[in-house]
Amino acid sequence: PTDALAWAQTLSKQEEANATRSALRIWSQNTPSETAAYLDSLNQKIDSHLPTVAPSWARREPAKAADWVASQPEGEGRNDALAKTLWNWTTQNPAAATTWVQEQPNDSVRDHAIAGLATAALDFNPSTALDWSIKIIGPKLKNSLIQRSLSIWYRKDPEDAQQWAEDHNTTIK
């Protein structure tokens, strides 16, 4: 894998990004913890690579993947990877994923982890997704997820969705 990554650095900027992403995705499917260790050893910004590596790891060892992603500096890639990791974990073991989220401090790590839980719950229990969504502290993420959840729920069960919206002083957009 490191040979492929070294080769990628000889390419044009766009080709390098695509080749690097492909090499990391394949490597992380086989040995995700080694891929994460490699990225950590680079001593450079790896935010854009987190969504490539974390989902593969989350399918095998979700707690380790979540801990690794949460330990990374805040950024769009980390937030996306965290939501995807928790989505994967929630579909495998909701109780363990919930416990991990509840142990996190009230910050953006917890917010994006909650977003992953809520998104996983949307398909089978929109009310639960909304109960998680209202626990998000960041107003932009919170409002976006509430509206998305309400919209999906409204298409399935308009009466219950409307009642939830009224009970929580919000509107369905």
Instruction: Report domain extents, the chain.
Output: 2-122
pLDDT in tens, 104-145: 998 999 999 999 999 999 988 999 999 999 999 999 999 999
Contact indicator for 134, 113 with CB cutoff of 8 Å: no
pTM to 2 decimals?
0.82
Tokens of 166: 């009224």
The whole-angstrom separation of Cα 54 and Cα 51 is 6
Residues of the chain with pLDDT under 50: none
The whole-angstrom separation of Cα 126 and Cα 62 is 23
Tokens of 43: 């001593």
The whole-angstrom separation of Cα 53 and Cα 168 is 37
Say what the pLDDT of residue 123 is: 82
Say what the pLDDT of residue 12 is: 82
The residue among 32, 24, 30 whose CA lies nearest residue 6 is 24
The whole-angstrom separation of Cα 153 and Cα 126 is 6
Chain centroid, CA 68 distance in Å: 12
Residue 102's CB is within 10 A of a number of other CB atoms, namely 11
The whole-angstrom separation of Cα 125 and Cα 135 is 16
Say what the pLDDT of residue 169 is: 93
Tokens of 70: 């949460």
